[in-house]
Structure 1
């Protein structure tokens, strides 16, 4: 009688039989999955449901016994990790750079000019722009001059941004258009002089004068820049990018492209610190869609070490009497911190030199003294006095870029000397103090490839294996720490750890399929690992050909 009653109930309410399976939008099997959950467990399979949410994670048998789908991806043993997050980059700048002269890897001023000539021969630009030169890579490690550009381009304005984005090499035509003279002085930067006249190198603040006279670009230009940049990122397995500084117009364009399905990439957009941006977003409040998160402000504390714009407590070891410069003063940092905090936003501040870092850390500590979950970030946290590491915590998070260490290691000690270098690029110390580190690239300053981030974090060597044992090897991260820094810790720093950063039930199905197991292969092989597939929301958005 009881059995008949149960059968009647099942017929009325459509009870599942033991053979029925739960429908899924996607099932992934036969994989080597690093879930990056709290126990850092591995798995072989998972199922994705409607809305791109993970339904189940386990063995092949467990998942295929419980779920069914017309869309099954057999990974054939390949390694899968949570969708990779770049915690500090410049997506729009990357795309814009892809429309301009690429100067990365140039070996001399003459090499730069040759590339500009080749570009101009094809494009006939009315205002020539480019990016990527680095005098530290040249045999003559000195800033170039306007005269070198004038000889090739006497009548066409030329403005070439240094790789770090903190110095501009311009010709006389561009200087004249911008009204820059020997008497031009702006706080937070420098017009470098030679024989009493502008040399053609502008550091930080005065660069804005040249930017203001560049011809305006139309919306189509920026749409192409963004879509080109996205394609690049997806091909490397990135699923979320933190763009460290965007104006309102750029954020609104990105939002419209995401809503239309033109852009698939998720973006954590930091609002550029400008009055018109802050007046809009801080009053509007946090903006969160399924692919865009706007809840932070990007502030510049100082400049860059490579162009000697980073603010140091004592003079540069390779330039007597020169301290660099604060772009935002200590007083302004504190006022900004109070305003940003009052609006419920996160403050993310670029700090390279030890003077800038302590100014930022003091402002953060003062404003956050009664808070425990603000998650404000120090972007770069590059040169820090040893006594100041104790400021870091899960409330004041270090956001660092491992490839900066391996790019700068050839000359960094020349800039800061043997004592200060002990507190530079100290990723392991920062991790120990804060409990986490968010890892990024700062592209296009560095390459987009997140495998280079992973390699630099764990090996601290260049692609030729230099130096033996690694640069400041005590600051290496383990492979588990590096992967967390590119996934769950980066997600945490964005207030997104409940929705991404690991492969777990209830989270979004953002994941990256790799060509090899980065957790076990030889360190020297890590840079050769590629993204085979990239998924966002369970949707295949990139496949290696």
Structure 2
């Protein structure tokens, strides 16, 4: 080849390299990239499943097949939810909802009306009741027995750590006055020793073990309902967890949704830590999934919840002297599970709320991680009531605080009754975690709390409790900025799931997962953040939701 041809060939290559094709160019936008040190942009272009340009001035070589003027709308990366009971949430959407109930009478009336819509023998499930809504009196089977004679009932408290069962359900499970409390659980009894119908902690397994399994079609209906809601709220990826080991695992359900081609939302699915061997075998056989559906993590409980008084503390509960909460699993056995899962290369996500539970988990993680801890992306789920020392240690070790900010404005209505004023300053310590250099991620814990990220952002920046008793913020010194909350929902969440090279910020080469919002959450009054709507939602460059 002569010199002229070589030069000509080189010029042709240079011309091609200057041209960037894009399927769609979005202009006149307020683009929050989430990337450190980068100012706002006004243009984002995508081609197929990737971002090909983010900037202000559209380069001449950018060739777009379609241009969309966004009229100044706010654009950001899609939200990631760090902790969602996805299938339980879908099941709740298809079942009775007891969250609006504010009196025992309403509880009975709603249960009676719902039972009339069901055939005999069908279980009444989910519910998500909150006894704090009617003054703190715990429900009793006598509230519902007369209106559910033909339907067994198992309805959970909103935190998932207590449940109400009717007499028919107790009989089917073989629970009576002679049934011993299981380890890590309580069968609540009246003054005569008879079960009241209320179960706590691991006692829930007595019912879970006898519940009939839903069909594949029922599961796919529940999946679709959960996904539809999540996409409408701008959630592009979920860390899906479950409390309940079973033969049909949650991962099987997600794989079925993927196989049936109804899965649009990205998911990382964790297996209950008790089943770590099954999780390890699955990784060995199938690797860790793909960019839509990934796995290779385990999630376990060391304690329960503050609402159910099953969170594990060093000092006794203020409203129950001599009682410290409890570990839901034998600590020695749990430490072995953590060690085995870690040795198998699985990622650890451990539920710990009380300061003693948190310290236990941090100590075990420190032992397991040694010099590699920051690479392991270990997570403590909830991290609600740590000590100041635990906050410092979390940051030093690089363990991730996987928190759900809505709980702060809910629990803040009554938490002081449980733990007293001395332990309050570090409750839901969002700002302290960041100031110590810790890693903070956000999510919902749906259906325990609302799925909406906008509710979570509102909670994190205002800390205004649901009873309006703290308009300036409950433990106001722990409030954070909107941008810090957005970062926790996107950038840090992607890091926590080993996604930071592909997702989390709006940058060239990353997946085109982004949302167009009705308003800039940084620019509206805080009380209006919850009113923001998702106008468009793209995953992999595909429009998956439009308002």
Normalising by structure 2, we get a TM-score of 0.93
1:417 aligns with 2:420: yes
1:496 aligns with 2:495: no
- Does the CA contact (< 8 Å) of 1:282 and 1:343 recur in 2? no
1:87 aligns with: 82
Q: Trace 1:191-270 onto structure 2 (pairs within 5 A).
A: 191-195=187-191, 196-245=193-242, 249-270=249-270
CA deviation after TM superposition for structure 1 residue 465, in Å: 5.5
Query: In the alignment, which of 466, 479, 482 is matched to residue 482 of structure 2?
Result: 479
Return closer, same or farther for 1:363/1:250 CA change in 2, 3 Å cut-off.
same
Q: Trace 1:39-118 onto structure 2 (pairs within 5 A).
A: 39-50=37-48, 52-59=49-56, 61-63=57-59, 65-118=60-113
C-alpha separation in 2, matches of 1:69 and 1:473 = 47
C-alpha separation in 2, matches of 1:316 and 1:277 = 37
Question: C-alpha offsets along residues 159-209 of structure 1, whole Å, 9 cap, x if unaligned?
Answer: 111111111101111111111233322111111111111111101211111
Question: C-alpha offsets along residues 61-82 of structure 1, whole Å, 9 cap, x if unaligned?
Answer: 325x232232332211100111
Return closer, same or farther for 1:40/1:466 CA change in 2, 3 Å cut-off.
farther
2:267 aligned counterpart, secondary structure: strand
CA deviation after TM superposition for structure 1 residue 480, in Å: 1.7
- Does the CA contact (< 8 Å) of 2:162 and 2:308 recur in 1? yes
Q: Trace 1:160-199 onto structure 2 (pairs within 5 A).
A: 160-182=155-177, 183-195=179-191, 196-199=193-196
C-alpha separation in 1, matches of 2:211 and 2:38 = 50
CA deviation after TM superposition for structure 1 residue 336, in Å: 1.5
CA deviation after TM superposition for structure 1 residue 507, in Å: 0.6
Return closer, same or farther for 1:255/1:434 CA change in 2, 3 Å cut-off.
farther
1:537 aligns with: 540
1:351 aligns with: 352
C-alpha separation in 2, matches of 1:9 and 1:213 = 73
- Does the CA contact (< 8 Å) of 1:303 and 1:327 recur in 2? yes
Return closer, same or farther for 1:462/1:516 CA change in 2, 3 Å cut-off.
farther
Return closer, same or farther for 1:539/1:365 CA change in 2, 3 Å cut-off.
same
- Does the CA contact (< 8 Å) of 1:285 and 1:295 recur in 2? no
1:135 aligns with: 131
Q: Trace 1:518-537 onto structure 2 (pairs within 5 A).
A: 518-537=521-540
Q: Trace 1:236-385 onto structure 2 (pairs within 5 A).
A: 236-245=233-242, 249-275=249-275, 277-278=278-279, 280-281=281-282, 283-284=284-285, 286-371=287-372, 372-385=374-387
Give the alignment's Cα RMSD to 1 decimal: 2.2
Return closer, same or farther for 1:533/1:395 CA change in 2, 3 Å cut-off.
same
1:446 aligned counterpart, secondary structure: coil
Question: C-alpha offsets along residues 481-507 of structure 1, whole Å, 9 cap, x if unaligned?
Answer: 111100000111111111111000111
CA deviation after TM superposition for structure 1 residue 412, in Å: 0.4
* Structure 2 alignment gaps of length 5 or more: none
CA deviation after TM superposition for structure 1 residue 4, in Å: 6.9
Equivalent pairs counted in the alignment come to: 537
1:438 aligns with 2:441: yes
C-alpha separation in 1, matches of 2:118 and 2:328 = 35
Give the stretch that moved more between structures: 220-229 or 338-347. Answer: 338-347
2:394 aligns with: 392
* Structure 1 alignment gaps of length 5 or more: none
Normalising by structure 1, we get a TM-score of 0.93
C-alpha separation in 1, matches of 2:286 and 2:16 = 49
Question: C-alpha offsets along residues 501-521 of structure 1, whole Å, 9 cap, x if unaligned?
Answer: 100011101001111011122
- Does the CA contact (< 8 Å) of 1:301 and 1:356 recur in 2? yes
2:27 aligns with: 29
Return closer, same or farther for 1:337/1:54 CA change in 2, 3 Å cut-off.
same
- Does the CA contact (< 8 Å) of 1:375 and 1:397 recur in 2? yes
- Does the CA contact (< 8 Å) of 1:396 and 1:434 recur in 2? no
- Does the CA contact (< 8 Å) of 1:33 and 1:45 recur in 2? yes
CA deviation after TM superposition for structure 1 residue 456, in Å: 0.7
- Does the CA contact (< 8 Å) of 2:273 and 2:338 recur in 1? no
2:512 aligned counterpart, secondary structure: coil
Return closer, same or farther for 1:489/1:279 CA change in 2, 3 Å cut-off.
closer
1:16 aligns with 2:45: no
1:69 aligned counterpart, secondary structure: strand
